[in-house]
């Protein structure tokens, strides 16, 4: 493919500025020197399907090669055994040094769509990035990706920012574009959702993570967005925010953040249910924004409590009897009531294992991807179930602090199961997870220290080892005296 052809002398990396990369891309596109690993993707529709069935045709996820085990963090932090694994519901956490940033992760994710899914960059009409991992107060992350598209500069879209919600807003923007008069036949949109989640030393650090998800969006998709069924909630809060422009680290009010998450969940669920009719079991699978696994478990169980409050007669006698004593709880009190939580967790355990755990692999093993979290979970579900998702509905809950939240859903129409299986096969998650490199807690601290030193710096070459990157990865090679960043591609 295009970028493989750029790297003609391995193992030495190609170091390219945006101008050099753009020139090389234009030359290769003009000569037709493009090869694909898979059959080229092409939108399929006619006048009856034009602008309809909009959704996801392909997905790719990228993440750092390096990770730390939560069990190692427990030992290093001197906390009780199981504090992070059982208490947070996490197994491993991805991290990276100063060699990767949001532009490089995004470039690698989009590159995988080109290489693995046969996506033609000349057909992209919209590109939007949802992220809160900012390196510039003005220049968008999307702009760093433009050289990958060669001569195709007629691409709408820009960055979308609001904590962990930006990826969902970008997806909705792309879907609405596909349904609008702005859409031209034969085009597609690409949405990138991802972040590098890092916290200063302390109890929040084990809830970090890193990665990005790229999604190919267009009409007549195998994974179709139910755009007429959204449960939306927005409000103003200071639960998690980043007021210091000189640091990657956020300001977090942990208790308020949980309260805001649950309140948004309650309201979004009620509104989503109402738009689909008041019936139980309206979804086959569910993917949640996942700051940590235990919160997802509690959130799914809470939906059962909300079902009980809405219609006690519809949930069955066992649930009705078990939850009767909690019927009069104040909403805020219910967020932290241990008796209620234990009761609903027990009642919902079977459905949680069936409907949520199949999509929890990425979050449990990468950590929090912020904007990419819920979409990493969606891709985990697709990888686990593949063609079995045909005729199924997947409920999605996207949450971003501040607060912005939406519950929505995808459906896989009859006859589209093999295309869903193809998404899983092309993403190839498991083989890359098996190739990751486990690091010690001290090595993680050293890598994050490099990020601290590099944040906002100029006139420097990153110190992180390129050997600790996966092959076919874009990475930061240099920052000049005017803060201009140059990237290289590891063959």
The set of catalytic residues is: 132, 164, 289
Return the SS3 of 286.
strand
Return the SS3 of 49.
coil
Helix axis angle for 338-355 and 293-310, nearest 10°, is: 100
Rounded CA Rg of the chain: 22
Residue 398, annotated ligand binder?
A: no
- Residue 451: exposure state from Cβ atoms within 10 A (0-12, 13-18, ≥19): buried
Residue 52, annotated ligand binder?
A: no
Residue 414: how many other CB atoms lie within 10 Å: 8
List the structure tokens of 101. Answer: 């940033």
Residue 362: how many other CB atoms lie within 10 Å: 28
Residue 18, annotated ligand binder?
A: no
- DSSP code string of 57-120: EEEEEE--SEEEEHHHHHHHHTPPTTTTTTTS---EEE---TT--HHHHHHHHHHHHHHHH---
Give me the residues paired with residue 287 across strands.
396
Closest by alpha carbon to 355, among 285, 303, 297? Answer: 285
Q: Cα dist. 251→20, 104, 244 in Å? A: 39, 25, 9
b/e burial code for range 1-37 (CB count within 10 A of at least 16 → b): bbbbebbeeeeebbebbbeebbebbeebbeeeebebe
Give me the residues paired with residue 128 across strands.
191
Return the SS3 of 135.
coil
**Binding-site residues for CoA:** 257, 294, 298
């Amino acid at each position: 493919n295009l970028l493989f052809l750029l790297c003609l002398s391995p193992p030495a990396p190609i170091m390219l500025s945006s101008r050099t990369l753009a020139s090389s891309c234009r030359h290769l596109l003009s000569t037709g020197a493009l090869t694909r690993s898979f059959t080229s993707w092409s939108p399929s529709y006619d006048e009856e399907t034009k602008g309809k069935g909009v959704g996801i045709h392909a997905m790719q996820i990228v993440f750092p090669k390096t990770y730390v085990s939560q069990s190692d963090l427990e030992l290093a932090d001197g906390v009780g055994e199981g504090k992070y694994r059982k208490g947070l519901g996490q197994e491993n956490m991805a991290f990276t040094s100063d060699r990767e940033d949001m532009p490089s992760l995004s470039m690698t994710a989009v590159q995988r769509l080109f290489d693995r899914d046969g996506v033609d960059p000349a057909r992209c009409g919209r590109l939007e990035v949802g992220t809160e991992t900012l390196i510039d107060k003005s220049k968008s992350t999307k702009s760093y990706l433009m050289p990958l598209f060669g001569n195709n500069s007629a691409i709408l879209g820009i960055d979308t920012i609001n904590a962990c919600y930006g990826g969902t807003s970008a997806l909705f923007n792309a879907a609405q574009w596909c349904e609008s008069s702005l859409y031209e036949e034969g085009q597609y949109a690409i949405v990138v959702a991802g972040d590098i989640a890092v916290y200063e030393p302390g109890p929040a650090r084990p809830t970090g993570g890193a990665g990005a998800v790229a999604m190919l969006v267009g009409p007549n998709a195998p994974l179709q967005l139910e755009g007429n069924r959204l449960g939306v909630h927005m409000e103003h809060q200071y639960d998690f925010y980043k007021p210091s422009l000189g640091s990657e680290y956020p300001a977090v009010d942990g208790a308020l953040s949980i309260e805001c998450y649950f309140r948004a969940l309650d309201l979004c669920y009620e509104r989503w249910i109402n738009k689909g009719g008041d019936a139980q079991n309206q979804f086959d699978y569910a993917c949640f924004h996942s700051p940590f696994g235990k919160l997802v478990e509690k959130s799914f169980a809470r939906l059962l409590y909300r079902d009980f409050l809405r219609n006690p007669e519809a949930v069955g006698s066992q649930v009705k009897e078990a939850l009767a004593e909690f019927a009069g709880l104040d909403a805020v009190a219910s967020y932290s009531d241990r008796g209620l939580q234990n009761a609903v967790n027990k009642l919902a355990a079977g459905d949680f294992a069936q409907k949520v755990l199949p999509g929890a692999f990425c979050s449990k093993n990468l950590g929090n991807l912020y904007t990419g979290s819920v979409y990493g979970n969606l891709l985990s579900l697709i990888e686990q179930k593949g063609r079995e998702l045909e005729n199924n509905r997947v409920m999605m809950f996207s949450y971003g602090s501040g607060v912005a939240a939406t519950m929505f859903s995808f459906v896989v129409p009859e006859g589209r199961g093999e295309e869903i299986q193809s998404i899983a096969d092309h993403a190839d998650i498991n083989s890359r997870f098996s190739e990751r490199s486990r690091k010690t807690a001290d090595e993680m601290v050293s890598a994050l220290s490099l990020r601290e030193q590099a944040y906002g710096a100029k006139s420097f070459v990153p110190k992180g080892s390129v050997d600790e990157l996966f092959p076919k990865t874009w990475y930061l090679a240099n920052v000049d005296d005017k803060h201009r960043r140059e990237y290289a591609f590891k063959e």
